[in-house]
């Protein structure tokens, strides 16, 4: 875990973002910043061999889900036949609003119960396990609406996440000598992680006093305290100002480069193109496409379902005010 490594990727990202609007292929190429860890490099190699079809088997799948169905009344929110997530890679789960991404995410992490389905993490079945058990097995999640524990300090937030703390057992809690050693170690580790997320100066502030973006960072830092093998991020960029998005992306990439597997739900296309090794697209509860970012973004089904026909058009572009161009776009739209 080196702080400078994440720095490096962050600045690399910032450079990319500063450039002019890129085409899909360019963006994917830019994303191909070579991963620094062996696991991540291997994952990338492995994924390049995988055929981009729905339900494609992965060479080294850490998470495998089968026939996961969740209904709300008559509406089928999630109906995933088969999904495998490659170890050591960043997998993005994208889709339009109401596609069932977050619901699927909640099911996998034990925060919701499906009507049917099985899924396993590192070969062990997680179906029917509680959220806490899922987290203990090494799959830790964050939330779309950040859940910073407001009236705890930033450091307390971090220490709370430390696993296997003997002082968290009631019968030992009143004997400080049984847990002080663990506490000291955890504090050192927490300060290290906070420093990496540039939150170390805030360690003694209440988490409630942090800005929205800082809370996102804290949530990610807190998840790292549990030493996860896989980290699940629910819309990590939602509601974060653009300047911070770049640093968040850098942090996500750094997680992969340390050998962690990342699965994240995201709306922000820019982010998806840049940092993900594999993209899974959901629409109306089903997986409609998966593959490397460049391939998936050009998939007609995906473009139709999610991106809209003009996903490459910059809506801030003044040329859109030109009636001629607008008329052409509208004509195209009608033909579809």
Partner 1 sequence: MDEFLRILTQSLAELIAPTTAAYALAAIGLNLHFGYTGLLNMGQAGFMLLGAYGFGIATIAGAPFFLALLVALVAGLIFALLLGIPTLQLRGDYLAIVTISAAEIIRWIGRSTWLQEWTGGASGLQGRNYKGTFQDLSPLPDGRTVIGPLEYINTGSDSWWTRIFAWGVVALALLFVWLVTRSPWGRVLKGIREDEDAVRALGKNVYSYKLQSLVLGGMLGALGGVLYVLPITIAPDAMGRTMTFFVWTVLLLGGAATVFGPVLGAMIFFGAYMFMRTGMRALSENTGVGDVISTTNVEQIGGMLVGITLMLLVIFRPQGILGNKKELAFNVR
**Which residue number, 204 or 324, has a Cβ lying nearer to partner 1?**
204
**Which residue number, 183 or 312, has a Cβ lying nearer to partner 1?**
183
Residue with tokens 């109906």: 79
CB atoms within 10 A of CB 67: 14
Euclidean distance between CA atoms 200 and 221, whole angstroms: 11
Q: From the list 131, 212, 239, 308, which residue makes contact with partner 1 (rule: CB under 8 A)?
A: 131
x/- contact string, 219-248, with partner 1 (CB under 8 A)? Answer: x--xx-xx----------------------
Decide if residue 197 touches partner 1 (CB under 8 A).
no
Q: How far is the CB of 151 from partner 1 (least distance, A)?
A: 5
Decide if residue 307 touches partner 1 (CB under 8 A).
no
Euclidean distance between CA atoms 257 and 137, whole angstroms: 21
Decide if residue 161 touches partner 1 (CB under 8 A).
yes
Q: What is the DSSP track for 67-96? A: EEEEEETTEEEEEEEEEEEETTSEEEEE-S
Decide if residue 104 touches partner 1 (CB under 8 A).
no
Euclidean distance between CA atoms 183 and 189, whole angstroms: 10
Q: From the list 44, 101, 141, 216, which residue makes contact with partner 1 (rule: CB under 8 A)?
A: 141
Asked if 65 and 57 count as a contact pair (C-beta separation under 8 A), the reply is no
Q: CA geometry: angle at 265 spanning 261 and 268, to 5°?
A: 115
Decide if residue 143 touches partner 1 (CB under 8 A).
yes
Least Cα distance to 222 among 253, 189, 249, 247 occurs for: 189
Q: Angle, nearest 10°, between helix axes 3-18 and 180-196?
A: 30
**Which residue number, 224 or 272, has a Cβ lying nearer to partner 1?**
224
Binding segment for partner 1 (CB under 8 A), chosen from 10-18, 26-34, 161-169, 318-326, is: 161-169
Euclidean distance between CA atoms 88 and 133, whole angstroms: 22
Q: How far is the CB of 40 from partner 1 (least distance, A)?
A: 25
**Which residue number, 207 or 275, has a Cβ lying nearer to partner 1?**
207
Decide if residue 130 touches partner 1 (CB under 8 A).
yes
Residues that bind partner 1 (CB under 8 A): 109, 111, 130-133, 135-136, 140-143, 147-152, 156-157, 159-161, 163, 165, 167-170, 172-174, 176, 179, 183, 206, 208-209, 219, 222-223, 225-226
């Amino acid at each position: 875990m080196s702080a400078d490594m994440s720095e490096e990727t962050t600045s690399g990202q910032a450079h990319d973002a500063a450039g002019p609007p890129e085409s899909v292929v360019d963006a994917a190429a830019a994303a191909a910043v070579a991963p620094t860890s062996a696991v991540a490099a291997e994952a990338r190699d492995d994924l390049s061999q995988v055929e981009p079809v729905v339900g494609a088997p992965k060479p080294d799948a850490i998470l495998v889900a089968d026939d996961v169905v969740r209904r709300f009344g008559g509406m089928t929110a999630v109906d995933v036949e088969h999904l495998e997530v490659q170890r050591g890679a960043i997998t993005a789960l994208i889709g339009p609003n109401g596609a069932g991404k977050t619901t699927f995410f909640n099911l996998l992490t034990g925060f919701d119960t499906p009507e049917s389905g099985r899924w396993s993490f590192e070969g062990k079945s997680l179906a029917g396990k509680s959220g806490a058990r899922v987290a203990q097995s090494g799959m830790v999640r964050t939330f779309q609406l950040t859940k910073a524990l407001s009236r705890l300090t930033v450091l307390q937030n971090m220490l709370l996440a430390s696993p296997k703390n003997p002082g968290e057992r009631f019968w030992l809690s009143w004997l400080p000598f049984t847990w002080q050693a663990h506490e000291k170690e955890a504090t050192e580790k927490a300060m290290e992680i906070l420093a990496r997320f540039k939150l170390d100066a805030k360690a003694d502030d209440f988490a409630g006093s942090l800005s929205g973006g800082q809370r996102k960072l804290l949530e990610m830092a807190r998840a790292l305290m549990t030493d996860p093998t896989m980290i699940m991020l629910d819309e990590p960029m939602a509601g974060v100002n653009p300047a911070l998005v770049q640093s968040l992306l850098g942090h996500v990439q750094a997680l992969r480069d340390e050998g962690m597997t990342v699965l994240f739900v995201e709306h922000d296309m820019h982010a998806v193109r840049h940092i993900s090794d594999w993209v899974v697209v959901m629409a109306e509860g089903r997986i409609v496409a998966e593959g490397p970012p460049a391939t998936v973004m050009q998939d007609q089904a995906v473009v139709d379902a999610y991106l809209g026909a003009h996903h490459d058009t910059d809506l801030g572009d003044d040329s859109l005010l030109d009636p001629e161009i607008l008329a052409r776009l509208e004509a195209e739209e009608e033909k579809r």
